[in-house]
């Protein structure tokens, strides 16, 4: 049975990878619909021939890496179970430490280490790809430092979560998923509060915006939107990337509006103000809190389904997977595999909600700034800096895009321009 599961798992992964290679490189069409040709959404109007070629090449390879990476995680956890490594990790932990918490810590360090080694080739390929196409400016040592920080931050959180999770499973085999979800609510809010001041500074340096004149204009926008902001933060990203970004993070008193220094260096003041108005829209329309609520609802359903699927998997394939009961720490790879699958399956829905919110934020920003020229040029520059496709293939958009495509964003702005001209004509006519 173990051999059969391994064979079919590997075969499914191979066929899946082959499908997406064919889809992205031979079938998918990212060309612009003819009605948009010559418009400001047409990449040929703001990218040169070399940039057009590079954006297509880079996007295809990057999208293929995305679609391969997630199921690779599933096949990794499956083989950890089938080869008896999860059983071995538990045995080593029990031989090394007398206390349950320490045994969990040792088991988890082995599992995390093997996962780190297994996924390192794909991570390095992604890093190397970004360097080759001049997206990343980060040195190898800097990249490895971030990878190691990731490892230990994830390990620390996993140790806490896994220890509590298996304590709950041992206490209540039927309702552990509900109790785990109830505890996840304050934990999620706490991590959102902690993220800007504890975790993010591990990776980059944050400081108040140096350009005080620009900060004053941004804070004026915030005042118009009734946002009680006192500072705008910039983060040193130029040593890592040429890409542009700005975002809102945190909740409560720890919420921040953050600008990458690459954005400050490459965009004009009007373009930055449009981006800031967009980020403020997320605060005004409470997208962060709506997102937290949606995440918690999905996590409730996800934990319930994970509990049911784990029970069925152990009943049917427990011997092959070398798992006797769900409450055994050896079942952790199965838990992580099922949860990852459910997250992947639900990503089209979460991306759809995110794209709706981002569209709302774009509309809010253009109505606040009234500067469609700066807005369109912002999206054109974002496309150039990230070598992104203006009109990505449908499956890429569904599974990868939490923002509207650049075609949709620029087209919306052009429609806004036409609406404004019509209003002006109507007023003049009156």
Rounded average pLDDT over 349-358: 93
Give backbone dihedrals phi and psi of 179, rounded to 5 degrees, phi first. -65, -35
Q: What is the pTM assigned to this prediction?
A: 0.89
Q: Is 358 annotated as a binding residue?
A: yes
DSSP assignment of 268-280 equals: -HHHHHHHHHHHH
Q: Using CA atoms, how far apart are residues 56 and 25, in angstroms rounded to an integer?
A: 10
Q: Which of 18-22, 130-134, 228-232 has the lowest mean pLDDT?
A: 228-232
> In whole angstroms, how far apart are CA 246 and each of 256, 259, 278?
11, 4, 9
* pLDDT single digits (tens) 391-419: 999 999 999 999 999 999 999 998 888 88
Residue from 215, 234, 279, 377 carrying the catalytic annotation: 279
Residue from 362, 371, 377, 408 carrying the catalytic annotation: 362
Question: Which residues on adjacent β-strands are paired with residue 234?
Answer: 207, 259
Tell me: pLDDT of 424 over 90.
no
Percent of the chain at pLDDT exceeding 70: 97
Q: Is 278 annotated as a binding residue?
A: yes
* pLDDT single digits (tens) 97-138: 888 899 999 999 999 999 999 999 999 999 999 999 989 999
Among this protein's residues, is 205 annotated catalytic? Answer: no
8 Å CB contact between 214 and 234:
no
If pLDDT is split at 50, 70 and 90, which confidence band does 92 have? very high
Rounded average pLDDT over 322-347: 93
If pLDDT is split at 50, 70 and 90, which confidence band does 30 have? confident
**Domain ranges across the chain:** 2-203+289-346
> In whole angstroms, how far apart are CA 185 and each of 181, 349, 373?
7, 21, 42
> In whole angstroms, how far apart are CA 79 and each of 11, 195, 309, 344, 370?
13, 33, 18, 20, 56
Q: Is 215 annotated as a binding residue?
A: no
Between 79 and 429, name the one with better pLDDT.
79
Show Cβ contacts of residue 269 under 8 Å, excluding neighbours closer than 6 positions: 214, 217
Q: Which long-range contacts (CB under 8 A, 24 or more apart) does 285-292 make?
A: 285/357, 285/360, 285/361, 285/364, 287/357, 287/360, 287/361, 288/192, 288/248, 288/251, 288/255, 289/251, 290/357, 291/353, 291/354, 291/357, 292/188, 292/189, 292/192, 292/251
If pLDDT is split at 50, 70 and 90, which confidence band does 312 have? very high
* pLDDT single digits (tens) 136-192: 999 999 999 999 999 999 999 999 999 999 999 998 988 999 999 999 888 888 888
Tell me: pLDDT of 232 over 60.
yes
321: exposed, middle or buried (Cβ count in 10 Å: 0-12, 13-18, 19+)? buried
The per-residue pLDDT for 85 is 93
Task: Output the average pLDDT for the chain.
Answer: 89
Among this protein's residues, is 236 annotated catalytic? Answer: no
């Amino acid at each position: 049975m173990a051999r059969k599961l391994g064979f079919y798992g590997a075969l499914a992964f191979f066929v899946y990878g082959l499908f997406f290679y064919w889809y992205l490189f031979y079938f998918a069409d990212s060309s612009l619909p003819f009605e948009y040709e010559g418009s400001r959404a047409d990449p040929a109007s703001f990218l040169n021939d070399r940039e057009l070629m590079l954006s297509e090449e880079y996007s295809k390879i990057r999208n293929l890496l995305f679609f391969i990476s997630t199921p690779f995680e599933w096949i990794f956890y499956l083989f950890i179970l089938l080869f008896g490594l999860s059983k071995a990790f538990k045995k080593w932990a029990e031989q090394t430490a007398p206390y349950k918490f320490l045994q969990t810590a040792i088991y988890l360090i082995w599992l995390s280490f093997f996962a780190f080694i297994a996924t390192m080739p794909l991570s390095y390929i992604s890093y190397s790809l970004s360097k080759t196409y001049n997206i990343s400016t980060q040195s190898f040592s800097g990249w490895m430092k971030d990878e190691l920080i990731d490892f230990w931050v994830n390990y620390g959180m996993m140790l806490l979560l896994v220890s509590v999770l298996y304590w709950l499973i041992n206490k209540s085999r039927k309702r552990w998923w509900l109790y785990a979800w109830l505890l996840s609510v304050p934990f999620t809010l706490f991590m959102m509060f902690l993220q800007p001041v504890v975790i993010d500074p591990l990776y980059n340096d944050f400081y108040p915006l140096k350009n005080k004149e620009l900060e004053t204009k941004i804070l004026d926008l915030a005042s118009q939107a009734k946002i009680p902001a006192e500072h705008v933060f910039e983060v040193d990203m130029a040593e890592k990337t040429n890409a542009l970004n700005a975002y809102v993070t945190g909740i409560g008193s720890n919420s921040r509006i953050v600008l990458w220094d690459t954005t400050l260096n490459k965009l004009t003041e009007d373009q930055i103000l449009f981006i800031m108005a967009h980020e403020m829209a997320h605060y005004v329309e409470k997208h962060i809190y709506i997102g937290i609520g949606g995440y918690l609802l999905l996590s409730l359903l996800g934990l319930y389904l994970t509990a049911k699927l784990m029970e069925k998997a152990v009943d049917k394939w427990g011997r092959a997977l070398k798992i006797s009961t769900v409450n055994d720490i050896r079942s952790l790879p199965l838990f992580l595999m099922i949860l990852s699958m459910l997250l992947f399956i639900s990503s089209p829905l979460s991306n759809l909600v995110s794209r709706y919110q981002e569209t709302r934020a774009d509309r809010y920003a253009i109505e606040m700034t009234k500067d469609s020229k700066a807005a369109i040029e912002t999206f054109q520059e974002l496309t150039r800096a990230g070598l992104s496709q203006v009109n990505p293939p449908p499956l890429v958009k569904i599974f990868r895009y939490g923002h509207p495509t650049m075609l949709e964003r620029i087209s919306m702005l052009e429609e806004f321009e036409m609406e404004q001209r019509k209003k002006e004509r109507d007023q003049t006519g009156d």
